């Protein structure tokens, strides 16, 4: 008999990937004798600033955020992703996930297909990569084919991608030499404060939902400190559910390389936490965690990755707002809603991701936008408020501009407690946002530490 009750979906692909070796003896044995490669950030060749660090992809693969992906892609798998946005096993996946190395490192290591590589981070053993294939690519071609062009993807791409687009820039700055194969963490990360209390990888997240009695959970994507527009998006979208509104709201922050001028990761996490600590959304219904990923800003493609990650975390629904995971005007502002309502055939996505074989089980909640309307006297939803002349849009950029000018945003658009979080980290870093000093310090420290580990013969 059909039921309207929605249950927690299985992981994408059926099983959560878990490639973390927690047994110290086995971990040492896995790494013994393998040549070492220190993980380094991908730098923007024009600015010298870090724009990506592959260790974040290793964490997200190994802990199952990207399930069923269990390693770095072969050439064939990347070609399949670019043509159909599917892995070789048929499951949807939006982006090429590539482990690239420099020519010098490749020569120095002298590795071949079938070899194992010990990956170190800040000098300490971190993971092993079992090399299945060594292949080469043209980074500019990879960047262009990943995101598309206005001519080839007219449904959603408005402006040609270039180096100002962070995702394009990541692929364009890769070395062009890829090592493909499964990756296993052999030295578990120990997250620093404040990341540690937000660390709920998929298995732990699912357990936590169970403990809280949340059957339905709606995911909220963020890379920002929340303003009232975000809060109203969360509150309104969470009315979706089944026979009752969603039990939980999961704010899953994307933590990774930032752009200059972004809010710091610490302020993003604690800013969202302040929403529940101060009762704007009850902590019984709202929690914050994070995923390590250097965001590609791929709007509809990014939303597909978000759907995968949040389904793996155990969410039943995902809210998508205007300009989802977007930057600039490369994409139609509602490109994500186009994907999740009718598909984007030019990307090989002929149907919405949740209505296709080997697709997702998480359900989209496609939303419009929110603005302040003085006539309604509230943060109003675009489909409700018809006061076109009166409406006052506000954006994260606008609020950042106020803050940096020394003006506290008014409570009607920004919670004072969230502002206090920003000020707390402003005092810590001497700056309210990401600057080049923060970027460099973050790459030196990372979000976690690794304990010492002896590896015989490595």
Site string for another protein, 43-62 (x = CB under 8 A): --------------------
Contact assessment for residue 185 and residue 19, using Cβ atoms and an 8 Å cutoff: yes
Q: Min. distance of Cβ 16 from another protein in angstroms? A: 36
Kindly state whether residue 70 participates in binding another protein, applying the rule CB under 8 A: no
Which positions from 254 through 273 interact with another protein, judged by CB under 8 A?
Answer: 260-261
Q: Burial letters for 314-332: b for 16+ Cβ neighbours within 10 Å, e otherwise?
A: bbbbbbbbbbbbbbeebbb
Applying CB under 8 A, which of residues 357, 405, 456, 457 lies at the interface with another protein? 405
Residues found in the chain: 458
Kindly state whether residue 90 participates in binding another protein, applying the rule CB under 8 A: no
Applying CB under 8 A, which of residues 407, 416, 441, 451 lies at the interface with another protein? 407
Contact assessment for residue 143 and residue 52, using Cβ atoms and an 8 Å cutoff: no
Name the DSSP letter for residue 59: H
Kindly state whether residue 397 participates in binding another protein, applying the rule CB under 8 A: yes
Phi, psi of 185 (to 5 degrees): -75, 130
How many secondary structure helices (H) and strands (E) does the chain include? 14, 17
Question: Residue 359 or 432: which CB sits closer to another protein?
Answer: 432
Site string for another protein, 217-256 (x = CB under 8 A): ----------------------------------------
Kindly state whether residue 432 participates in binding another protein, applying the rule CB under 8 A: yes
Applying CB under 8 A, which of residues 93, 99, 331, 394 lies at the interface with another protein? 394
Q: Burial letters for 93-128: b for 16+ Cβ neighbours within 10 Å, e otherwise?
A: bbbbbbbbbeeebbeebebeeebbbbbbbeeebbbb
Please spell the DSSP secondary structure of 265-326, one letter per residue: HHHHHHHHHHHHHTTSS-TTTEEEEEEE------THHHHHHHHHHHHHHT-SEEEE-TTTT-
Question: Residue 315 or 403: which CB sits closer to another protein?
Answer: 403
Contact assessment for residue 180 and residue 77, using Cβ atoms and an 8 Å cutoff: yes
Applying CB under 8 A, which of residues 65, 137, 372, 448 lies at the interface with another protein? 372
Applying CB under 8 A, which of residues 103, 412, 416, 449 lies at the interface with another protein? 412
Question: Residue 35 or 333: which CB sits closer to another protein?
Answer: 333
Question: Residue 279 or 410: which CB sits closer to another protein?
Answer: 410
> Count of residues binding another protein (CB under 8 A)?
37
Looking at 180-188, 266-274, 312-320, 387-395, which segment touches another protein (CB under 8 A)?
387-395
* CA–CA dist 52, 167 (Å, integer): 10
Question: Residue 134 or 399: which CB sits closer to another protein?
Answer: 399
Kindly state whether residue 381 participates in binding another protein, applying the rule CB under 8 A: no
Kindly state whether residue 423 participates in binding another protein, applying the rule CB under 8 A: yes
Name the DSSP letter for residue 410: P
Looking at 111-119, 130-138, 139-147, 431-439, which segment touches another protein (CB under 8 A)?
431-439
Q: Min. distance of Cβ 291 from another protein in angstroms? A: 24
Question: Residue 88 or 402: which CB sits closer to another protein?
Answer: 402
Kindly state whether residue 426 participates in binding another protein, applying the rule CB under 8 A: yes
Kindly state whether residue 214 participates in binding another protein, applying the rule CB under 8 A: no
Question: Residue 71 or 300: which CB sits closer to another protein?
Answer: 300
Applying CB under 8 A, which of residues 404, 416, 441, 451 lies at the interface with another protein? 404
Applying CB under 8 A, which of residues 192, 393, 441, 444 lies at the interface with another protein? 393
SS3 helix, strand, coil % of the chain, rounded to 5? 30, 20, 50
Contact assessment for residue 63 and residue 57, using Cβ atoms and an 8 Å cutoff: no
* CA–CA dist 308, 124 (Å, integer): 31
- The encoded tokens of residue 273 equal 């936490």
Which positions from 94 through 113 interact with another protein, judged by CB under 8 A?
Answer: none
Kindly state whether residue 280 participates in binding another protein, applying the rule CB under 8 A: no
- Which phi-psi region, left, alpha or beta, contains residue 103 (left: φ > 0; alpha: ψ -120 to 50)? alpha
Kindly state whether residue 398 participates in binding another protein, applying the rule CB under 8 A: yes
Which long-range contacts does 110-117 make (Cβ < 8 Å, 24+ apart)? Answer: 110/35, 111/35, 111/179, 115/34, 115/35, 116/30, 116/31, 116/34, 117/34, 117/35, 117/36, 117/37, 117/179
* CA–CA dist 287, 251 (Å, integer): 6
Q: Min. distance of Cβ 230 from another protein in angstroms? A: 14
Kindly state whether residue 3 participates in binding another protein, applying the rule CB under 8 A: no
Q: Min. distance of Cβ 100 from another protein in angstroms? A: 27
Kindly state whether residue 416 participates in binding another protein, applying the rule CB under 8 A: no
Kindly state whether residue 383 participates in binding another protein, applying the rule CB under 8 A: no
Q: Which residues bind another protein (CB under 8 A)?
A: 260-261, 322-323, 328-329, 333, 372, 374, 377, 392-395, 397-398, 400-402, 404-408, 410-413, 423, 426-427, 430-432, 435-437
């Amino acid at each position: 008999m059909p039921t309207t009750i929605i249950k927690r979906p299985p992981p994408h692909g059926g099983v959560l990937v878990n490639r973390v070796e927690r047994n110290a003896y086995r971990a040492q044995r896995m790494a013994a004798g393998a040549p070492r490669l220190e993980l380094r950030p991908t730098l923007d060749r024009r600015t010298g600033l870090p724009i990506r660090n592959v260790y974040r992809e290793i964490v997200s693969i190994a802990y199952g955020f990207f399930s069923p992906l269990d390693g770095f892609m072969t050439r064939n798998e990347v070609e399949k992703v670019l043509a159909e946005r599917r892995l070789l096993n048929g499951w949807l996946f939006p982006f090429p996930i590539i482990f690239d190395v420099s020519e010098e490192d490749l020569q120095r290591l002298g590795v071949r297909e079938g070899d194992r590589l010990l990956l170190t981070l800040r000098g300490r053993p971190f993971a092993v990569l079992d090399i299945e294939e060594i292949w080469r690519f043209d980074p500019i071609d990879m960047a262009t084919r990943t995101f598309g062009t206005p001519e080839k993807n007219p449904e959603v791409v408005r402006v040609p991608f270039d180096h100002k687009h962070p995702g394009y820039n990541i692929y364009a700055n890769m070395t062009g030499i890829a090592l493909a194969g499964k990756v296993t963490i052999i030295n578990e990360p120990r997250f620093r404060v404040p990341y540690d209390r937000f660390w709920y990888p998929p298995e732990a997240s699912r357990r936590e939902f169970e403990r809280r009695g949340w059957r339905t959970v709606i995911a909220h994507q963020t890379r920002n400190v929340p303003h009232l527009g975000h809060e109203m998006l969360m509150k309104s979208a969470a009315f979706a559910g089944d026979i009752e509104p969603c039990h939980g709201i999961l704010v899953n922050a994307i933590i990774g390389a930032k752009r200059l001028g972004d809010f710091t990761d610490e302020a993003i996490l604690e800013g969202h936490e302040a929403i529940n600590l101060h009762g704007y959304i009850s902590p019984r219904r709202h929690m914050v965690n994070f995923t390590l990923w250097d965001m590609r800003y791929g709007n509809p493609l990014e939303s597909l990755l978000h759907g995968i990650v949040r389904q793996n975390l155990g969410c039943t629904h995902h809210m998508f707002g205007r300009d989802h995971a977007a930057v600039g005007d490369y994409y139609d502002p509602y490109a994500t809603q186009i994907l999740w309502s009718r598909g984007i055939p030019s990307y090989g996505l002929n149907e919405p991701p949740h209505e296709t074989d080997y697709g997702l089980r998480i359900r989209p909640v496609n939303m419009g936008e929110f603005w302040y309307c003085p006539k309604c006297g509230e943060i109003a939803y675009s489909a409700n408020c018809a006061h076109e002349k009166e409406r006052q849009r506000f954006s994260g950029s606008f609020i950042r501009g106020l803050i940096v000018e020394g003006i506290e945003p008014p409570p009607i658009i920004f919670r004072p407690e969230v502002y206090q979080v920003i000020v707390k980290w402003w005092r810590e870093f001497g700056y309210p946002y990401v600057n080049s000093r923060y970027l460099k310090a973050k790459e030196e420290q990372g979000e976690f530490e690794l304990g010492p580990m002896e590896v015989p013969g490595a």
